[in-house]
């Protein structure tokens, strides 16, 4: 029974979202009456003109920080020409670091980095340019920020769309790598810049969520990116998608792909490495280092690692889990958790964030409080330690705790008490943001086969769906039943 449940839950992922959820249909992904704009009540929408100071974020203190530079320069001890060359290289390196920070809109830290060094030719000019761009920046409030999401990307369309029982679901809710790259390129050309949920609102000293401003040069606009179900579920084996995320020799996060012939390759086969590579080449696609949010269930592990408790206890395994363990006789649960943690750490280091997608991919609207508690406890037990905890929850099935009216009641009180401050559903409006002292809540837009096929006009601010749509997709894309 459980097998059937997990397969249905994951393949259909969002497919059931339009059903049986009372007054909340406008925030469901695939309902006929698409979301109306302005669904957020005025009083609960905070418009921010609070003039938030331009601050750096902790994740910027990594490779490009002044501290790292100071350590590097301290070991210049060779004499003569070689020392001079080394010196010049380091000065150029500092300028490059500052320019990269500025390209990511972190002008203050870029300028501070240069000002903290002995004066060099070129520094003053660079500082002047950075100040000029910084002063031209336009503020964006959270209500002006769109949020798009994907599922695991399809690498091999022939395998994904081979006509087996999962093909229809992939055609509906998944996106191919070619489509993803075309969408990313289009959004980049249109000036979109990835921001984090923390760029929209953070808790103040009293624990109340307060809106923030995002400052971007004219022509740029912020968006939030997320990806659901990055578990590489067992049912996807052999269906043309990556099998897990791994950290390569250079400390980069890549995707592992097992070919039809059993050969294993490592590369940019899913969103995380694709975005990392894109930002490496186009730092101005990321606001001060922000990347996307990865929403994780737990029942088959995370990031392709079989970290859930059932793989350790081997109690109540479903059929696919049993097959997995039977075909992996050397399976070591502890080692699996360690590798998942290493991968998650490398991702966080690179600007990625994690969210709960509920442990069992449950519909929070339909679930009882008891079920929500049991499920959340499992997420906190088996997933949170790997990703370092999370204050974000991205609801499965695009479900939600309530309609457009603000959250209240025991399910919200429970989740809030477990530390969740950021809540996301699915909504096809361009913008759907609600900020109250208790939480930030945001609608997300699915960029998948279903949406591109049936509602290309809803995506026209982001890209031209007709140009992006992968010709390898079977059409018509099946309707949501």
Nearest distance from residue 9's CB to Zn ion, in Å? 8
**Stretch touching Zn ion by CB under 5 A, among 40-48, 187-195, 225-233, 268-276:** 225-233
**Stretch touching Zn ion by CB under 5 A, among 7-15, 84-92, 277-285, 323-331:** 7-15
Cβ(233)–Cβ(10) below 8 Å = yes
Nearer to Zn ion, 171 or 229 (CB): 229
Nearest distance from residue 444's CB to Zn ion, in Å? 11
Nearest distance from residue 352's CB to Zn ion, in Å? 18
- Residues facing residue 210 across a β-bridge: 202
Nearer to Zn ion, 101 or 401 (CB): 401
Window 227-246: residues binding Zn ion (CB under 5 A):
228-229
Nearer to Zn ion, 213 or 300 (CB): 300
Nearer to Zn ion, 60 or 229 (CB): 229
Give the binding-site size for Zn ion (rule: CB under 5 A). Answer: 4
Nearest distance from residue 13's CB to Zn ion, in Å? 4
**Stretch touching Zn ion by CB under 5 A, among 25-33, 222-230, 340-348, 423-431:** 222-230
**Stretch touching Zn ion by CB under 5 A, among 8-16, 124-132, 200-208, 411-419:** 8-16
Residue whose Cβ sits closest to Zn ion: 13
Cβ(215)–Cβ(207) below 8 Å = no
Nearest distance from residue 382's CB to Zn ion, in Å? 17
**By CB under 5 A, residue 95 contacts Zn ion:** no
**By CB under 5 A, residue 396 contacts Zn ion:** yes
Nearer to Zn ion, 228 or 318 (CB): 228
- Residues facing residue 241 across a β-bridge: 154
Window 51-90: residues binding Zn ion (CB under 5 A):
none
**By CB under 5 A, residue 448 contacts Zn ion:** no
Nearest distance from residue 419's CB to Zn ion, in Å? 21
Nearer to Zn ion, 214 or 396 (CB): 396
Residue 240: CB atoms within 10 Å:
23
Nearest distance from residue 357's CB to Zn ion, in Å? 6
Nearest distance from residue 305's CB to Zn ion, in Å? 18
**By CB under 5 A, residue 216 contacts Zn ion:** no
Within its chain, how far is the Cα of 198 from the centroid? 13
Nearest distance from residue 390's CB to Zn ion, in Å? 16
Nearer to Zn ion, 123 or 359 (CB): 359
Nearest distance from residue 298's CB to Zn ion, in Å? 12
**Stretch touching Zn ion by CB under 5 A, among 9-17, 20-28, 258-266, 431-439:** 9-17
**Stretch touching Zn ion by CB under 5 A, among 10-18, 92-100, 386-394, 469-477:** 10-18
Nearer to Zn ion, 13 or 241 (CB): 13
HEC readout, the chain:
CHHHHHHHHHHHCCCCCCCCCHHHHHHCCCCCCCCCCCCCCHHHCCCCCCCCCCCCCHHHHCCCCHHHHHHHHCCCCCCCHHHHHHHHHHHHHHHHHHHHHHHCCCHHHHHHHHHCCCCCCCHHHHHHHHHHHHHHCEEECHHHCEEEEECCCECCHHHHCCCCCCHHHHHHHCCEHHHHHHHHHHHHHCCEEECCHHHCEEECCCCCEEECCEEECCCCEEEEEEEECCCCCHHHCCCCECCEEEECCCCCEEEEEECCCCCEEEECCCHHHHHHHHHHHCHHHECCCCCCEEEECCECEECCECCCCHHHHCCCCCHHHHHHHHHCCCCCHHHHHHHHHHHHHHHHHCCCEEEECCCCCCCCCCCCHHHHHHHHHHHHHHCHHHHCCCCEEECHHHCCCCCCCCCCCHHHHHHHHCCCCEEECCCCCCCCEEEECCEEEECCEECCHHHHHHCHHHHCCCCCHHHHCCCCCCCCCCCCC
Cβ(373)–Cβ(414) below 8 Å = yes
Nearer to Zn ion, 171 or 228 (CB): 228
Distance of alpha carbon 444 from alpha carbon 255, whole angstroms: 25
Nearer to Zn ion, 13 or 452 (CB): 13
**By CB under 5 A, residue 13 contacts Zn ion:** yes
Nearest distance from residue 120's CB to Zn ion, in Å? 51
Q: Which residues bind Zn ion (CB under 5 A)?
A: 13, 228-229, 396
């Amino acid at each position: 029974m459980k097998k059937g449940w997990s397969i249905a839950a994951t393949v259909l992922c969002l497919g059931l979202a339009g059903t049986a959820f009372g007054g909340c249909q406008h925030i469901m992904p695939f309902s006929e009456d698409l979301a109306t704009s302005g669904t957020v009540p005025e009083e609960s929408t905070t418009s921010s003109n609070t003039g938030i100071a331009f601050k750096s974020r902790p994740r910027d203190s990594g490779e490009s920080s002044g501290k790292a530079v100071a350590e590097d320069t301290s070991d210049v001890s060779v004499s003569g020409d070689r020392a001079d060359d080394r010196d010049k290289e380091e000065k150029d390196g500092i300028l490059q670091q500052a320019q990269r920070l500025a390209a990511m809109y972190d002008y203050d830290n870029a300028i501070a980095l240069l000002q903290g060094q002995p004066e060099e030719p070129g520094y003053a000019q660079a500082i002047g340019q950075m100040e000029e761009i910084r002063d031209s920046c336009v503020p964006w409030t959270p209500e002006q920020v769109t949020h798009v999401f994907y599922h695991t990307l399809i690498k091999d369309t022939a395998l994904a769309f081979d006509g087996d029982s999962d093909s229809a679901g992939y055609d509906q809710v998944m996106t191919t790598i070619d489509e993803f790259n075309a969408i990313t390129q289009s959004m980049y050309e249109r000036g979109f810049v990835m921001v984090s949920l923390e760029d929209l609102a953070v808790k103040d000293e009293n624990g109340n969520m307060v809106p923030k401003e995002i400052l971007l040069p004219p022509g740029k606009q912020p968006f939030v990116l997320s990806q659901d179900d990055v578990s590489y579920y067992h049912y996807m084996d052999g269906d043309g998608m990556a099998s897990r995320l791994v950290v390569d020799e250079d400390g980069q996060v890549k995707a592992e792909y097992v070919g039809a012939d059993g050969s294993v390759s490592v590369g940019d086969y899913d969103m995380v490495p694709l975005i990392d590579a894109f930002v490496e080449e186009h730092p101005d696609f990321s606001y001060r280092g922000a990347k996307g949010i990865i929403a994780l269930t737990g029942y088959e592990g995370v990031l392709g690692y079989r970290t859930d408790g059932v793989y350790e206890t081997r109690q109540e395994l479903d059929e696919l889990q049993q097959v997995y363990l039977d075909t992996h006789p050397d399976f070591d649960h502890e080692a699996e958790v360690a590798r998942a943690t290493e991968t998650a750490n490398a991702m966080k280091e690179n600007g990625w964030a994690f969210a709960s997608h509920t442990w069992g991919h449950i519909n929070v609207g339909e679930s009882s409080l008891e079920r929500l508690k049991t499920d959340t406890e499992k997420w906190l037990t088996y997933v949170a330690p790997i990703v370092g905890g999370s204050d974000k929850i991205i609801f499965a099935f695009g479900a939600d705790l309530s309609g457009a009216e603000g959250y209240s009641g025991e399910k919200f009180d429970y989740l809030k008490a477990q530390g969740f401050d950021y809540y996301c559903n699915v909504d096809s409006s361009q913008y759907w943001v609600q900020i109250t002292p208790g939480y930030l809540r945001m609608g997300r837009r699915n960029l998948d086969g279903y949406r591109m096929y049936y509602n290309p006009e809803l995506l026209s601010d982001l890209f031209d769906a007709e140009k992006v749509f992968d010709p390898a997709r079977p059409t018509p894309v099946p309707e949501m039943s």
